[in-house]
Amino acid sequence: MSQPEAAQRAEARAREATTPLGDRIAAFGPIIGLVLLCAAGAMLNSDFATLDNALNVLTRTAFIGIIAVGMCFVIILGGIDLSVGSMAALIAGCVILFINWASGAFGSPLLAVIGGAALAVVLGGVFGLLHGILIAKGRIEPFIVTLGTLGIYRAYLTYFADGGALTLDNALADLYAPVYYGSFLGVPIPVWVFLLVALLGALILNRTIFGRHVQAIGSNETVARYAAVDVERVKILTYMLLGLCVGIATLLYVPRLGSASPTTGLLWELEAIAAVIVGGAALKGGHGSITGTVIGAILLSVISNILNLTSLISVYLNAAVQGFVIITVAFLQKGRR
C-alpha cells in the first residue's frame, strides 16, 4: 500500500518539476499542426489567408474557445464536464425568454438586454456551482453528474421551446446584435472577449495559489490532501469557473442568431474537450496549458473552414478529416504523457 503510494508521490513530484518546460514543448504540437493547416488552406484557396476570413474563423471559435478555457481547468483538475453544450443551450433559451419578458416588464429594452447578458453569466455560475457541489460534496463521478445534467438541461430547453425554437424579438435582437457583430479596433467583440478570458485563465492557472492547487489535485489528489489543500473547495470553484465560461460564451452566442433550439450547442462538449486535449492537456489530469487550448480550439475551426472553402474531398468525409487531424496533432505531442 505504502510503496505504490510513495512511487506515485515521487512520480507526481517529478512531473511537477518538469511542468514548465513540458508545457513549452507541448505547445509545439498544436502550433506545428496549425501552421501546416494554414499553409495548406492558403494553397488550396487564395481567400483563406484574407483578414476577413481569419476574423470569421476567430469569431466563430470564440464560443468553443471560451468554454475550452474553463474546460482546461476542469481537465487539469482530473475531472470532465460533458454538459457544457446542453448548458449553453439552456442558458441561451433562458436568456431569450428573460429578455423577451423583461423588455415589457422593465419598460426598457436596453435594461432587459443587459439583464439578460448578466443572467447568462449568473446561470452559468449557478450550474457550475451545482456540478461542483454534487462532485465534491456528493462524491459522485464528474462523468456521471455531467452526463445526467447533459440530459436534464437539453430536455428543459426542448420543453421551454415547445420542441421548436425560442427566438428573440426582432427589435431586441437588433439591440443585442452589436455584442456579436460589433467590433473594436477592427477586431470583432467576441475575439476580444476570447482573448481576455484566455489571458485571465492563463493568469489564474499559472500565477495564483488556486491554479497551483488545481494542478496539484490533478497530479495526485491524495498528495494534495496531505499538503492541506482544501480539495473540496478547489473542485467546486473549478466547476464554477467552467460554468462562468459557458455563461460568457452564451452571452456572446445569443446575439448571433437570436434563437435557441434543441440543436443549439450540440456536441460542443466534445469540441471543447478535443480543443483542450489537442492543446496538450492530459485527459487523466495534472497537465495542460491555456495557450495550447486556445490553439487547439482555433485548429478545430480552421479544419472545417478549409473544408468549406474547397471541394477537394467528398463532403461525406468532413468529419473523418477532422478526426485524422485531431489524432495526428495528439500524436505530435505524445512524448510527454
Partner 1 sequence: MSMQTRRSLMLATAAGLAFVATSAAAEPVNLGVSIPAATHSFMGGINYWANQAKKDLEAKHKDLKITIRTAANAVEQANQLQDLSTVTKINALVVFPFESAALTRPVANVKAKGAYVTVVDRGLTDTSAQDAYVAGDNTAFGKIPAEYIAKTLGGKGNVVALRGIPTTLDNERMDAFNGVLKGYPDIKLLDAKYANWNRDDAYKVTQDFLTRFKEIDAFWAADDDMAFGAIRAIDQAGRKDIKVIFGGAGAKDMVKIILDGKDPRIQANVSYSPKFIYESIKLTAEARLKGEKLPATTIIPSVLIDKSNAKDFYFPDSPF
**133 or 309: whose CB is closer to partner 1?**
309
Nearer CB in complex with partner 1: 228/315: 315
Of 288, 267, 269, nearest to 279 (Cα)?
288
Residues between 103 and 162 with contacts to partner 1, criterion CB under 8 A: 158, 161-162
Complex with partner 1: residue 18 or 50, whichever CB lies closer = 50
- The three cell numbers of residue 109 are 429594452
CA 326 vs CA 33, 129, 300, 331: distances in Å = 9, 31, 8, 9
Nearer to partner 1, 208 or 308 (CB): 308
For partner 1, the binding residue among 8, 100, 167, 183 (CB under 8 A) is 167
Helix pair angle (189-207, 231-257), 10° resolution? 170
Q: For partner 1, how many residues bind (rule: CB under 8 A)?
A: 31
Phi, psi of 106, deg, nearest 5: -85, -20
The residue among 177 and 195 lying less far from partner 1, judged by its C-beta, is 177
Residues 281-320 that bind partner 1 (CB under 8 A): 304-305, 308-309, 311, 315-316, 318
Question: Nearest Cα to 180, choosing from 273, 88, 248?
Answer: 248
Applying CB under 8 A, among 206, 259, 322, 328 the residue interacting with partner 1 is 259
Give yes or no for a contact between 252 and 163, defined as CB atoms under 8 angstroms apart: no
Backbone angles phi, psi at 188, to 5 degrees: -55, 145
- Looking at beta carbons only, is 134 or 179 nearer to partner 1? 179
Is the CB of 115 or the CB of 262 nearer to partner 1? 262
Segment contacting partner 1 by CB under 8 A, of 44-52, 104-112, 203-211, 329-337:
44-52
- DSSP lists the bridge partners of residue 167 as 259
> How distant, in Å, are the alpha carbons of 183, 233, 285 from that of 229?
42, 9, 17
Provide the residue count of the chain: 337
For residue 47, state whether it binds partner 1 (rule: CB under 8 A).
yes
DSSP state of 286: S
Contact with partner 1 (CB under 8 A) among 20, 138, 164, 335: 164
Round to whole Å and give the CA distance between 330 and 292: 11
**Residue 316: Cβ within 10 Å count:** 7
Query: CA-CA distance, 209 to 201, in Å (whole number)?
Result: 13
Contact with partner 1 (CB under 8 A) among 257, 322, 336, 337: 257
Draw the binding track, 48-87, toward partner 1 (x: CB under 8 A; -: no contact): --x-xx--x---x---------------------------
261 belongs to the binding site for partner 1 (CB under 8 A): yes
d(CA 42, CA 20): 33
Nearer to partner 1, 59 or 238 (CB): 59
Tell me the sheet residues that pair with 267. none
Least separation in angstroms between CB 96 and partner 1: 13
Least separation, in Å, of the C-beta of 242 and partner 1? Answer: 21
Shortest distance, position 155 Cβ to partner 1, whole Å: 9
Contacting residues toward partner 1, per CB under 8 A? 45, 47, 50, 52-53, 56, 60, 158, 161-165, 167, 181, 256-257, 259, 261-264, 266, 304-305, 308-309, 311, 315-316, 318
